[in-house]
Amino acid sequence: MTEQNEPLAPPVDLLAIAAHRDDVELLVGGTMARAASQGHRTGILDLTMGERGTDGSAQLRGQEADAAAKVLGVVARRNAGLPDAGLVNTQETRSLVAGYIRAFRPRVVILPYTAGRHPDHRVASQLAYDACFLAGLARFDAPGEAHRPHKLLYALTYREDPVKPSFVVDITDFIETKMEAVHCYSSQFDGKTWGGEVFPGGDRPLYDQVRMHAARYGALIRKAYGEPFHVVETMEVDDVVTLPVRSI
């Protein structure tokens, strides 16, 4: 949370929005770490504090989130303070989230996918999309000056429905950073075989499942590890001769 005299958030190039502390790390931790290493300013907006989580507490989860943010190299992490397991998309919540978007002023925003096992994840996707659009309306009632992100990316990791990624980010060099960030949430994941959108995989520890899914998506681009994304609009290609990923 921000102190009273602090700005709502500093400007960033890439902002990841998620329902709960730990969602960003599970879904796109490698992408966030890679972007930071490339010199991009990155930020995270968690919509809830996770106060209804089965394990740990909101305070402990906040400490874990701060530790994970340092691992990923994000410029700033903020929390909207909306109710956990009770997230709703209303004019009030859209205005609140739009204020953060105007403060962060990102060029690119990563959103949860539109479908999800946890109701908060589904609501977070539409709420964040609506807030991104409304933040660009000069007369919309929200703090700050109007700003609309240029690009919206939907995180696809752990999806079981047949959604083919629009692209996959190579996180091979950042898989250990991602895993370190996920391990920060020991109160949530130690001894577990599932969590969030990660479904049970027999007796396989959750940490192993996270790595396995990254390997699965990495294989799609002929790399060791990757994170998948979906975009609604068609991707542009400048030079077909230099396209990566071997076909045959």
pLDDT tens digit sequence for 86-117: 999 999 999 999 999 999 999 999 999 999 88
pTM of the model: 0.95
Q: Please, are residues 134 and 94 in contact by the beta-carbon 8 Å criterion?
A: yes
- The C-alpha angle 3, 69, 157, rounded to 5 degrees, equals 125
Whole-angstrom distance, CA of residue 211 vs CA of residue 182: 10
Q: What is the signed CA dihedral for 72, 73, 78, 84, rounded to 10 degrees?
A: 0
Rg (CA), the chain: 17
Segment holding 188, helix H or strand E: helix 186-189
Predicted local distance difference test score (pLDDT) of residue 168: 98
pLDDT confidence band for 6 (50 / 70 / 90): low
Q: What is the mean pLDDT of residues 175-195?
A: 95
Pick the CATH number of 14-231 from 3.30.710.10, 3.40.190.10, 3.40.50.10320, 3.90.1420.10: 3.40.50.10320
pLDDT confidence band for 239 (50 / 70 / 90): very high
Could you tell me what percent of the chain has a pLDDT over 70?
97
Predicted local distance difference test score (pLDDT) of residue 196: 84
Whole-angstrom distance, CA of residue 65 vs CA of residue 88: 23
